[in-house]
Structures are given as structure tokens and as C-alpha cells.
Amino acid sequence: MKQLFENTKINYSHTVGFTADVGGRGFHLPRDIALNSENKLFVVSRSGAFHTAGLRITICDIKNNYFSEFSKFGKNPGELYWPCSIAFDSIDNVYVTDEYTNLISIFDKDGNYIDRWGIKGKKEGEINFPSGIAIDDKDQIFITDNMNDRIQIFSKDGEYIHSWGKEGSGNGEFDKPWGIKIYDETVLVADWRNDRIQILIQIFDKEGNFLDKFGVSGTNEEELFRPSDVAIDKNNFYYVCDWGNQKVKIFDEKFNYCGYLRGESELSEWAKEYLDANIDEKKARESFNPVIKVDDVESHEESARIESYFWDPTSVLVDKDQNLLVLDSNRNRVQIFEIG
């Protein structure tokens, strides 16, 4: 349990997912998660460069119900090559960024392919390595144009509206932006590589006017290193997916540091059912040590050795019931915490 303030606590609840590198129930090197209006959880599995069979988008929920999956590796319409982020429009159509093809692919809520758009380049309306995506209440598409160090806004049909930002370390400037979230009229951007100059989470209005920022670069407890995503709960606590430090860092509405989560995962229901059906693997696991302690090891290596910890967390969100979902990429799972 993490105590933030007197009336705010965070408790680990359960885990969804396990490794499934050829499709089916589970995930493989997932990059992003999002919830649609029906509270269905969509998980983007990017899979590996030399093992592409696990690439797909899984539809499930946080109660461990598995519904279906769609898409696969490729460059044809309906296929994805390097999928990174996912978001929904007002009718629950699914928009997925592809960092390799520089396309935004669109599917309906059941995963049926609709269309795709995008042109690679540096000019206005062109994109290069689209990483994050968010959609506002007017169905405007906000893209973190990673290699062009800017945010671009499009209609849902791909028509260019406007853009803001440029490469740099000043207010309103970016160095490889990744995650993006929209809350009412406010846009939050995880400015991934600007940790060196202490601008990490930048806050704007939807016209791109800079409002505020927070974050100090480094590997100490209160610092951030390569943040990938950010979310806010109903009490205006910020949850930063601190990818480089293998943690989720928590800040209050005035950006005061409150603490961190390292991960507390137990086996998911899917993993337990798999082991019950594969007795030899279950017996082998009984002698498995889930905690291999080594003194003075850096955080990434420590996460690789301790099964309950986050290992390369990439995405974070807070649902309408105030559950905090953290995508634990290298362990192919979503850890779920209750905020209360």
C-alpha cells in the first residue's frame, strides 16, 4: 500500500495478462493500453523485431475476460509494423499509430479495418515516427510527432489542422515527445528525452499555449528519467510512467512529489489457468525464485531479476472507477491498483 495523503491510498489489486508470443490470450511486448466507452481494455502488442507472430491488438477487460484480437504484422491495410499508441474517437473507432510506416490506422470497435492515413516528412501535416496519440471531445487527433519534435493535430479523416512545438529545451519545445493525454482543455505531454534539461511533463491548452511543466532529471527517488506517459486521477494526482527508472512516480496538483510505485504483481488468472493446464511447467515454477537480489544493481537490471516489479513500464491510465492501470511491457502484463 502507498499512502499519499491522509485520505488517499493506493493498493495493489491484481494483474491481467501473461506472455503469449504467437497470439491468443495474453500479450507480447505491449506498448500501450486504452479503455473504450464500454470499459473494454485494448492492449497493443508490438512483439519483437525477429519474432513478429505476437503482434496484435487484444480486447479484454480488467476482470480478466478475454474477448478477441485483431491486426497482425505487415504493411498492408489493416496490418501494423511498429504499433505504438492507441486511442478512441466518440463512436469508439480505434486509432493506432505506427512508427515505421508513419500511418494512423483506423478500426471499428470490433477490430474491423476502416482506413489509414499519414505521409512521412517534415512539412506541416507530415509525420515522422508518430508515437503518442490522444483524441479530444471534438474528435481532433493529437499526435506526438516524435522525430519532428512537435505535436500535430488532425481531423479524424487525416486533414491537417495545426501543429505546435519544435526541437529544443525551452518551454513549449520538445526532444522526442512520446505519451500524450487530454483532460478537458489541457494537454499533457511526456517529453521523453528532455530530462537532461529538466523539462519532462509539459502542460498546454489545446491551442498549444504553454501552461506549466514539472520534473527534475535524474535517477534519484524524486527525479524522472525518460518518462513515457502520464495520467491524472479525480483528486488531481499525476501518475508519471518513469520508463527509465522502472517506476510510476506520483505528484500532487501542485507538482509536489508524493512517492512512487515499483510494482507488486502476483500471477494473473490467465497465468494460473495456463499453469494448471501445463503441470510440468507448474512443477518447474515451484522451484523458481522470483526474487534474485544483487547489491548495487541499477534499476533496469533489478527489475529484470524481481518478478513482481515493473520492467520497462510504458503506459499508464486511470479509469472511471479510479483504478490505476500500469502497462508492464517486458513482463507482458497490466498491473492494477485501487486509488482510494
**For residue range 4-52, what is the model confidence (pLDDT) as tens digits?**
656 679 999 999 999 999 999 999 999 999 999 999 999 999 998 888 9
Please tell me the distance from the alpha carbon of residue 78 to that of residue 71, in angstroms, as a whole number. 6
The mean pLDDT value of the chain amounts to: 93
CA distances from 90 to 40, 232, 266 (A): 15, 20, 35
The ranges assigned to domains in the chain are 2-339
CATH architecture, domain 2-339: 6 Propeller (2.120)
**For residue range 97-123, what is the model confidence (pLDDT) as tens digits?**
999 999 999 999 999 999 999 999 999
Q: What pLDDT does 197 receive?
A: 31
- Judge whether residue 199 has pLDDT over 60: no
43: left (phi over 0), alpha (psi -120 to 50) or beta: beta
**For residue range 127-170, what is the model confidence (pLDDT) as tens digits?**
999 999 999 999 999 999 999 999 999 999 999 999 999 999 88
**For residue range 205-224, what is the model confidence (pLDDT) as tens digits?**
898 999 889 998 899 999 99
Q: What pLDDT does 8 receive?
A: 79
Which pTM was predicted? 0.96
**For residue range 309-326, what is the model confidence (pLDDT) as tens digits?**
999 999 999 999 999 999
